[in-house]
Structure 1
Amino acid sequence: MKLFFRLLLLFSCVFPVNGWAACHRDVDDRVSVSTIVLPTQLLVNSTPYAPGEILYDSGYLAGSESEVAILDCNALYFIGFFYQSAPQTGQATGNYVYPTTVPGIGVRVFTHNQTGPYDFLRAISNEWVKGYGSTAQSDHTMRGSAYRLQLVTTGGNIASGELNLPSPLARVEFREHRDASSQGDIVSQLNVTSTSIDVRALGCTADVASLNFAMGDILVAAFDATGKAGEVQQQVILNCEPGTNVSLAVIAAAPAQGDTANNTGIALSNAGSEGVAKGVGVQLNLRGADYDSGANGIPINTPLQLCASHRTVDGEKGYRYFSGDVHNPDGCQRSVTLNFNANYYRTLPTVTPGRANAAGTLNLTYN
């Protein structure tokens, strides 16, 4: 009789499952939000700017949360520093400055203490950067999040207009991959309270580039009564951004010899040369804007304020705005007429006949 034994072998196998972590904000933590109160008005010059001049600087504004924990990121996680909406989502114009809706003005945003290998100053740059994970899982705690916003010139002329910024404006996020739709969370965000800034480009344009006063022939005897002779009028029309400050100076003009009528007498060209009249100069008068010289003449090489608006300068944030009625500021208005007249003025007791030409430069300054 044969006995048979059957042996039942049971194999027990354990197959480990490698689970990948997924970046996420701690359930008890909220996004840290920095809120910047932007100005409602910004005064700039209409003349060309070099790139990089800071027109407004908010300084660093702390976030709403003192700590935000990001947990369970895998070793290959990424951190994103991004703007939220166009046109800032495009390419920088240089030095981390991104375009705005007003040509010539860009925006630059810095973050601070955004944890991991990037817990220092960093510009929002619309890029993903590699995280600092070295193990299967990596946790981070962001402390003291803050944002700083600057409005920066991009070069060239700035025109008046509405500068619009979206809110939220920028964010920092932790993701498993280089994609905002990948697993992960936003840790901090920048909001702005004024999404529309009234930009006023202060300046004027003149309707003529030069003035020519054709005095004609003047008899020496014409000076006997008042010491003055001849009078020719010319007009300059300025087209201005309302609220522009305008000043004027007569430059590149030498004072006449003798009685210069309180420095208002301009010397004749080639004075003292043969064939040039002696004992006489040219006097220029002006009436327009908030200035009226009457018949007293314009002092040469002396700046004269023609019109001025009331403004406030924020020394901390570095910007200007109208301190009166922002919609109807004082100062020069949209159209300003400057009425000039020129006459000869006797500078010595005796006037000798001859050529009597004179030249000078009218320097108009707008700001």
Structure 2
Amino acid sequence: MPAPQAVSFGVVRVPASAAVGSVLAERSTTGSTGGFTCKYPTRTSGLDMFQTSSPLGDHTYETNVPGVGVRIHFRYAYYGDVAAPDNFNIGWVIKDELRGASVQLIKTGPIAQGGTLRTGRLAHAGYDGKVQAWVDLADARIEPERPTCVLQSRNVHFDLGKVDSAELAAHGHSAWVTAPLVVTECQHATTLQLTFDGEADLDAPGLFRLNGFGAARGVAVELRSTYLDVPLVPNDPRAIELRAWQSAHQHEFRARYKVTSGTLTPGPANAHITVNVGYR
């Protein structure tokens, strides 16, 4: 008698460290057709839903979720586990039984977003083209582990204090002031990727413009990473990369006022900078 089977994976969470070719999850069924005898048969199985072969080979086929493949075996009493699809002519009389199927989800490439696999008939098997067993996918959702870190504060404050305009004009800049960005509990991340958005100064586009009513003119804010000692330029899409730590770690930055023109106009000297944080 036919042996319908169904497998359910639920949510499959993909470790960030999972290598291409690794088995992400596996489910097996135990249904049976009962025993039968075949004379000079052809053992057959076919794929119903996912039929695009993966470059990995080894009977792996791509699913509708990029980076996730499927590998299906049917279990025969006489031959053991046989991968689908299959077409094998047998030149003798055999007694056999189909005893279920196994379905593996395989990582075939980068899994950027994950998603839900299509459901329905995965594959069928039997002898001489007759469908004696099949396996259906009931549900499977792929969720890659996301790299994350905890930022202990949403704000980094640089108190540059009051600066005499004559002294600023004489030196061309104020003293550096440092402040930390404290990062901890990084999971599945090795690197922080930071970019800095803000209004660029009109006279010195590599500096951050002072903003607010009555803001000082002829001066802007210079921002640098202390560890890398590189300038942090407004709206530069090129991220700086800093190590991601599991324990609490201070990534130090420094800021100062810098003269941008020969005419200094006193006033409030504040700048707002948005830090965009990504992970790798």
State if a TM-score over 0.5 links the two structures: yes
Q: TM-score range by the shorter chain?
A: 0.5 to 0.7
CA contact (8 A) 2:65 2:117 kept: no
Change beyond 3 A, Cα 1:25–1:357: farther
In structure 2, distance between residues paired with 1:203 and 1:257: 36
Aligned to 1:301: 235
Secondary structure in 2 matching 1:348: coil
CA contact (8 A) 1:279 1:348 kept: yes
In structure 1, distance between residues paired with 2:182 and 2:121: 42
Aligned to 2:259: 346
Report how far residue 363 of structure 1 moved: 0.6
1:27-85 residue CA offsets vs partner (Å, 9 max, x unmatched): 9899999x9699xxxxxxxxxxxxx8544325789828633889999xxxx9966769x
In structure 1, distance between residues paired with 2:147 and 2:250: 17
Report how far residue 221 of structure 1 moved: 1.7
Aligned to 1:6: none
Aligned to 1:292: 229
Aligned to 1:66: 87
Report how far residue 224 of structure 1 moved: 2.9
CA contact (8 A) 2:42 2:88 kept: no
CA contact (8 A) 1:110 1:124 kept: yes
Report how far residue 26 of structure 1 moved: 4.5
In structure 2, distance between residues paired with 1:109 and 1:227: 73
Matched, 1:334 2:246: yes
Matched, 1:116 2:62: no
1:1-367 alignment to 2 at 5 Å? Answer: 23-24=35-36, 26=38, 53-57=65-69, 63=83, 66-67=87-88, 95=117, 110-111=122-123, 115-117=129-131, 123-125=136-138, 152-154=141-143, 158=145, 201-239=146-184, 240-241=186-187, 244-251=190-197, 253-258=198-203, 260=204, 263-270=205-212, 275-288=214-227, 291-293=228-230, 297-307=231-241, 332-335=244-247, 336-367=249-280
CA contact (8 A) 1:204 1:244 kept: no
Change beyond 3 A, Cα 1:279–1:36: same
In structure 1, distance between residues paired with 2:117 and 2:152: 39
CA contact (8 A) 2:201 2:220 kept: yes
In structure 1, distance between residues paired with 2:153 and 2:65: 31
Aligned to 1:317: none
Change beyond 3 A, Cα 1:228–1:26: farther
Structure number having the greater strand percentage: 2
Report how far residue 345 of structure 1 moved: 1.1
CA contact (8 A) 1:254 1:267 kept: yes
In structure 1, distance between residues paired with 2:201 and 2:180: 25
Please report the RMSD computed on the Cα atoms of aligned residues, expressed in angstroms: 4.8
Aligned to 2:30: none
CA contact (8 A) 2:72 2:102 kept: no
CA contact (8 A) 2:38 2:95 kept: no
Secondary structure in 2 matching 1:221: helix
In structure 2, distance between residues paired with 1:348 and 1:226: 13
Letter in 1 for 2:83: G
Q: Number of paired residues?
A: 209
In structure 1, distance between residues paired with 2:100 and 2:71: 22
Change beyond 3 A, Cα 1:113–1:222: farther
In structure 2, distance between residues paired with 1:247 and 1:32: 52
CA contact (8 A) 1:56 1:152 kept: no
Larger Rg belongs to = 1
1:154-212 residue CA offsets vs partner (Å, 9 max, x unmatched): 5xx73xxxxxxxxxxxxxxxxxxxxxxxxxxxxxxxxxxxxxxxxxx433222211112
CA contact (8 A) 1:109 1:124 kept: yes
Secondary structure in 2 matching 1:224: helix
Q: Which runs of 5+ in 2 are unaligned?
A: 1-32, 46-56, 74-81, 105-114
| TM-score, normalised via structure 1 length | 0.44
Report how far residue 298 of structure 1 moved: 0.9
Q: Which runs of 5+ in 1 are unaligned?
A: 1-20, 39-51, 85-92, 98-107, 127-150, 159-200, 309-330
In structure 1, distance between residues paired with 2:172 and 2:132: 79
